[in-house]
Amino acid sequence: MSRPETILVTDDDPRIRETITEMLNLEGYRTLQAESGAQALDILACDEVDVVLLDINMEVMDGLETTRRIKSDPSLRNIPVVIVSGMDDSESRIAALQMGADDFLNKPPHLAELKARVRSLVKVKAYHDYMLNYQKKLEDTVGERTRELRNTLEELALANRKLKTSSLSTIYCLSRAAEYRDEDTSTHLQRMSHYSATLAEKTGIPEADREMLLYTTPMHDIGKIGIPDSILRKTGKLLPREWLLMQEHTIIGAKILEGSSDEFLVKARTIALTHHEKWDGTGYPRGLKGEEIPVEGRITAVADVFDALTTKRPYKDAFPTDRAFRIILEGRGFHFDPALVDAFLSVKDEILRTKERFSEVPDIFDERGETGAKLHADR
């Protein structure tokens, strides 16, 4: 049930208050009475009022000051104020208008005039209340929807992060299935993929593509799964026939990863196929030269060889990092893209931090190691 429309009658003359109150009650309004402006404000602070009728001349607080206070209070300013004054009091009427009063009534008021003014002002107040209510509801709804949307986005971001982490773990596990048959250590893939991403960042490759490298480079040697153990695990020099078979791991890898239009697998396939191509055209399987080699293949070559050089293998110890960086530099323009070598050497510190982060064996240099390292770098 809706609240009865309430009129606050303010006048220091009890006879006037009673007369007006009686008229309004007959019209069905709920009425409240105040004998001063101060008392009117007290009532307004704790009761809901739709129209205030204000006498001008009152002792404790006059109608002008009361109007000023009502109209300057954001919680009250929408309540219509009607000044009730004598016809001869035009100066006060003008002052009240300037204070924000909404209407006037002559004293003593005529029934018809009182009814008409109050009715129209009650409607104005109801309209204001409706609009305020509507606006508040709208703000609440927008706020609620925004919270829901934010929660959903946070959940989505979390799920996405979890999915990425688990995808990367899956890639490492599956790729290691191939690598484990080789001499690579279990952290080789983590190091070389992070080296690749760091190198890509230095060369200005966009973040999304760098992330793609982090996920796809671990699959570079996935084709080794199709190479017999007798060749894969041979520590000595391969016979020409064995060497040709060994080179096939790039093509086998590409075959494993082909057949999908998914950008991720397309990139992984490119890397598997081209990570042994060399800048001067002496690499395999196709002898591509310079920028004919896709950039992801060129990046993987630098990262993969550097990690092979700096890692202990059954047939060799790890090279000191200075020597490994020197060997990379020697391959500038021959094995590797010159610009990538320059970029790689300019982020040495970051590369060494990554090496430390995924380290599993101490760096011990042994003179006998170089031939073995070069063997891996070519396979």
Name the residues that contact Fe ion, by CB under 5 A. 221, 304
**How distant, in Å, are the alpha carbons of 157, 209, 295, 321 from that of 309?**
38, 26, 21, 8
Give the distance from CA 110 to its chain's centroid. Answer: 66
Host H or E run for residue 79: none
**Could you tell me which of 121, 101, 119 has the C-alpha nearest to residue 111?**
119
Q: Which is nearer to Fe ion, 304 or 317 (CB)?
A: 304
**How distant, in Å, are the alpha carbons of 7, 159, 188, 262, 319 from that of 167?**
70, 12, 18, 15, 32
| CB 335 to Fe ion: min, Å | 13
DSSP state of 183: T
Q: Which is nearer to Fe ion, 96 or 272 (CB)?
A: 272
**How distant, in Å, are the alpha carbons of 194, 310, 311 from that of 307?**
11, 5, 6
Reading phi first (left if > 0) and then psi (alpha if -120 to 50, else beta), residue 91 is in alpha
| CB 290 to Fe ion: min, Å | 20
- Asked if residues 377 and 309 have their Cβ atoms less than 8 Å apart, the reply is yes
3-state secondary structure of 54: strand
Q: Which is nearer to Fe ion, 7 or 254 (CB)?
A: 254
Q: Which is nearer to Fe ion, 83 or 200 (CB)?
A: 200
Q: Which is nearer to Fe ion, 117 or 298 (CB)?
A: 298
C-alpha 130/C-alpha 126 separation (Å) is 6
| CB 234 to Fe ion: min, Å | 15
| CB 228 to Fe ion: min, Å | 16
Q: Which is nearer to Fe ion, 39 or 217 (CB)?
A: 217
| CB 379 to Fe ion: min, Å | 6
| CB 275 to Fe ion: min, Å | 6
| CB 304 to Fe ion: min, Å | 4
269-303 in b/e form (b: 16+ CB < 10 A) is: bbbbbbbbbbbeeebbbeebeeeebbbbbbbbbbb
Q: Which is nearer to Fe ion, 35 or 304 (CB)?
A: 304
